[in-house]
Chain A
Amino acid sequence: MSIQIRVENFSGPLDLLLHLIKSHEMDIYDIRIVEITEQYLTIIEQMQQLDLDVAGEFLLMAATLVHIKSRMLLPVSEDVGEEEEDPRAELVKRLLEYQRYKDVAELFQQLPQLERDIFLGQFQLADFFEGDSEENEVAIGIYQLADAFHQLMKDQPVESFHEVVRESLSVATYIERIVEKLTEKIRLSFREFFSAEFSRNELIVTFLATLELVKMRAVNIEQVDAFSEIWLALSIPPDQLSQISPEKDLLGYE
Chain B
Amino acid sequence: MNNLRQLVEAFIFASDGPLSLDRLSVLTEQPKALIRPVIEQLLQDYAASERGFYLAEIAGGYQFRTVAELAPWLRKLSKDRATRFSKAALETLAIIAYRQPATRAEIEYLRGVDSGGVMKTLLDKNLLRILGKKDVPGRPMMYGTSRHFLELFGLRDLNDLPTLKEFAALDPEMIEADPLDPEPVG
In the complex, the chain B residue whose C-beta lies closest to that of A119 is: B66
In the complex, the chain B residue whose C-beta lies closest to that of A125 is: B14
Residue pair A115, B112 in contact (C-beta under 8 Å)? no
Residue pair A102, B78 in contact (C-beta under 8 Å)? no
Residue pair B111, A105 in contact (C-beta under 8 Å)? no
CA gap between A15 and B123 in the complex, in Å = 24
Chain B hits for A96, CB < 8 A: 168, 171, 174
Q: In the complex, which range does the number of interface residues on chain A fall in?
A: 35 or more
The contact string, 1 if C-beta is below 8 Å from chain A, for chain B 37-81, is 000000000000000000000000001111010010011011001
8 Å CB interface, A109-146 against B: 109, 111-121, 123, 126, 133, 136, 138, 141-144
Residue pair B93, A108 in contact (C-beta under 8 Å)? yes
CA gap between A141 and B71 in the complex, in Å = 32
Chain B hits for A100, CB < 8 A: 164, 167-168
Chain B hits for A105, CB < 8 A: 87, 90-91, 93-94
Query: Known contacts A105-B87, A108-B90; is A118 also within 8 Å of B16 by CB?
Result: no
Q: In the complex, which range does the number of interface residues on chain B fall in?
A: 35 or more
In the assembled complex, the CB of A86 is this many whole angstroms from the nearest CB of chain B, namely 14
Residue pair A116, B167 in contact (C-beta under 8 Å)? no
Q: Which of B1-9, B28-36, B146-154 contacts A (4 or more CB under 8 A)?
A: B146-154
Query: Residues of A with Cβ closer than 8 Å to B?
Result: 11-15, 53-54, 57, 61, 93-94, 96-109, 111-121, 123, 126, 133, 136, 138, 141-144, 147, 225-226
